[in-house]
Structure 1
Amino acid sequence: MAHRTTPKATPLPWEMAKSFQLQVVKSCCDWAFSDISQPDSAMTRTVGIYSITMSPVLNVVLFGIDELGHKFHFQAILKLYDRRFGERLRMCLGEHVPHTAERELAFQSFVRRGMMDRFLRRREEVPEGEETQRPRGKKLEGSINLLDSPDTAQYFEVKGVILERVPGYPLNELPTSPLAPSNMVLWPGIVQAAVDAVHEVDSRGVLNNNCAPYNIVVNCRSHTPFIVYFASCDFKELLIQRWKDTGRMDDDDDPEIEYWEEVVTANNEGAIGAAMTARLRRMKGLELKIRYPNSQKILEDTKKSKGIESTKDRTGSSGWKIMY
């Protein structure tokens, strides 16, 4: 009996020491960290691969000539939004489904037949938590000979973000990293700064759903913590709209109060401060005294300013029951 061979997974196109070209299509800020004017394009060489969980994150060297004719050469972080790779991104019913040439043909056929817009509309309409089944159909064979249109070309592009590289270590490695300051007197200030940064992000309407010490990098020179992971975030306006659409939030509910109730429930400051306090106590016998930003007081003050009593009893997204 002939055994069916397993399709070969697509190899990484940006493997170590390999060069490829980037086109810079938009800049949301200046290139101050590289001391150059924004170029139209740049050659890129991979010098390290950090992770390929949800999105590929690469340590790269960019080089080329900027718009003023100056040569540049600097190191940066390149985060790619590549549908072909990502262990968590390509999970289906608990199973990792690697990208293959056969699956690429199926995807291209799907897009070029005009099915993508319909799929995305349906994806947005499906309520959260609705069960899905693995699609069953005929095996796709042969090659595709259809022309790309402006409407379909976007689905074959690989976009990404160039970020400043922070030389340092994850916050959770503060007690073990050789890059961390040897003087433990500095450690409480580093953790406190991370807690304050998390609260600042929450206050600006960005609620991080995966707030953890390993998603914060500490600059080993300035000891400044940087939050580097925002893939699992909710924006306040979109969060409120989703609550309205799903019936969780009534028309007479106040959006600002609802958001701060979610902030208190998520307790991102505690996810950093409490975790690091326990870790440093256990590993180094160091006791931290974190000054937590009082999100609960902000919530209560917001309610008082609107003449609302603090009598709401609900279960937040984290599963903890909160009494107000």
Structure 2
Amino acid sequence: MFRFQIIEVKPPVKIWLLITGLFWLLFTPAFTRADAFISEDRVYYGADSYTIDYEKEIIHAKGNAYFTKDDKKVKADRIEIYYAGKKKKALFFRNVVVQDQKRKSEVRGDFGEALYRENLYRIEGNAVYTDPERTVQARLIEKRGEEETVFSGNVFYRDTEYEIGASQLKITARSASFISDVEVLQLASGDRVHCSILDYSMPSRDITFQGEVVYLQKDGGESNSPLIMKSKGIRYFHDQDMFLLLGDVLIMTSDVSMNTDVARYRRRVKKLEATGDVVVRKKNRYVYCNNLEYDFETGKLIYSHSVRGIVPIKEESQE
């Protein structure tokens, strides 16, 4: 009788509230996985136990704690959520894991912080980033918005083709930019590159090296002598396996060295073309020209355009 009277007083309102509550409880995935919900920011969180400090406006979650907003879920041993004020944030302590469902990436570390209204997540302390294409280690990892992740301090990057060390790295959906003290190892060939800045295009896998670039190739030809190339900038075209060197180019092997303005090195066929003011030194002779072709396998040199002669170098007398 009592229940019947309540329903009769305002039946549409009570039935609507009951149906709405059951709908959110049963059919909202994020809600059913959570222990609690901050409705204003659509933040879900939970733990083995949690308390709320209403005076300081902090939520303390301990033991298998987690925090979820939009496509990102963070797990940690302990979480503190500051749910009021202009800078709403969450702090994560020990065994921190940030999972980004949209990017299919994961970041692990010892400590973390999220400015969740700004979609900014920072992880530090043995921080490691992984996605289907690469693994990156760094002192600090920041996920900024949906498109950008920044790595700082002792960065070590590895994918199926390269190992790269640097001071800083920024990854977006289409590129990776390495900054300061960049060292590259190409895994298949063993070749190395040292530079100041490296821009790595994700779709094409082309690479731009800048800032006093030094390229070291293990095998320079039949003599198995190393090849060293230096330049202000080098562009690597992945599909052609070709290096374009621009500005103050120096190329050295055990048999020959040359200076030029522009050079193209086709590694697959081990041939080099140089243009501009080309100066070649081989043993005790210099050659000046505007165009040069060099076959690393055979050691053959072809000079053309304004070849200005062969100048012997005076040999020192031997006593």
Q: Is the TM value for this pair above 0.5?
A: no
Of Structure 1 and Structure 2, the greater strand share is in: 2
Q: TM-score range by the shorter chain?
A: under 0.3
Look at both structures and tell me which one has the larger radius of gyration over its CA atoms: 2
Could you tell me the TM-score, scaled by structure 2's length? 0.23
Could you tell me the TM-score, scaled by structure 1's length? 0.23
Of Structure 1 and Structure 2, the greater helix share is in: 1
Larger relative contact order (CA 8 Å, sep ≥ 6):
1
